[in-house]
Amino acid sequence: MKIIKYEDKYRDDMIFMILEAQNALGRVPGLNEDLLDIKRNYLDAGDMFWLAINEQDRVIGSIGYNSIRDTDEVWLHRLFVKYNLKRQGIGSALLEMAENYIANQGKKVVRIHMGGNGFEESKIFYPKHGYVEYRERYMMKNLSIIANYYGRRIEVSGGKYSGWRYCKSSG
């Protein structure tokens, strides 16, 4: 598996993966408008969006962020992992990649909105990674404590991808 900067050639595969993930959570599958044009909503805005790609060149995860204007904060968006590959380190690797990149952009705080019902997995996942609830359905993490090691190779232990090397993003 590798983590790459979003490329348009993966758009349809990414959308299908997200719809499947939502369905597996018992949520009515649907897309937020930003997912229909990642380039405009993330990359052209100076922010980032990454995809986790498997050996068969298929999308198995995603994550992105948008900067909050005139602050050192960002909103984290669209952390999804292919429904049948959860709990194998993919989400953690995507989150670590994003946090390291964000910290190296000089940003200090990452915020997430938990949505409504159907986000029980997220309510367990994010606190394990240092996020704290600051308002109902909202969590945040202070990145000022993250060491500057973006770009180093990350080794994930446990799960199917144990021992696989995650590549740094190109961009």
Please check whether residue 166 lies inside any domain of the structure.
no
What is the percent of the chain where pLDDT is above 90?
58
The CATH number for 96's domain is 3.40.630.30
The pLDDT value recorded for residue 162 is 34
Whether 64 is covered by a domain: the verdict is yes
Q: Residue 45: left if φ>0, alpha if ψ -120 to 50, beta else—which one? A: alpha
Mean pLDDT value across residues 51-67:
97
Into how many domains does the chain fold?
A: 1
Confidence (pTM): 0.80
pLDDT in tens, 96-125: 999 999 999 999 999 999 876 666 778 888
Q: Given a cut of 60, is residue 164 above it in pLDDT?
A: no
> Over the stretch 10-55, which tens digit does the pLDDT of each residue have?
999 999 998 988 877 766 666 788 888 999 999 999 999 999 999 9
Residue 167 lies in a domain: no
Residue 50 lies in a domain: yes
Q: Is residue 124 part of a domain?
A: yes
Residue 14, domain member (yes or no) = yes
Contacts made by residues 160-165, CB under 8 angstroms, sequence distance 24+: 160/85, 160/88, 161/1, 161/88, 161/89, 161/90, 161/93, 162/89, 164/1
Is residue 44 situated within a structural domain? Answer: yes
What pLDDT is stored for residue 146 in this prediction?
52
Question: Domain of 87?
Answer: 2-161
So what's the pLDDT on residue 28? 66
Tokens of 165: 């090397």
Residue 90, domain member (yes or no): yes
What per-residue confidence (pLDDT) applies to 119? 67
Comparing 5-9, 79-83, 158-162, the range with the smallest average pLDDT is 158-162
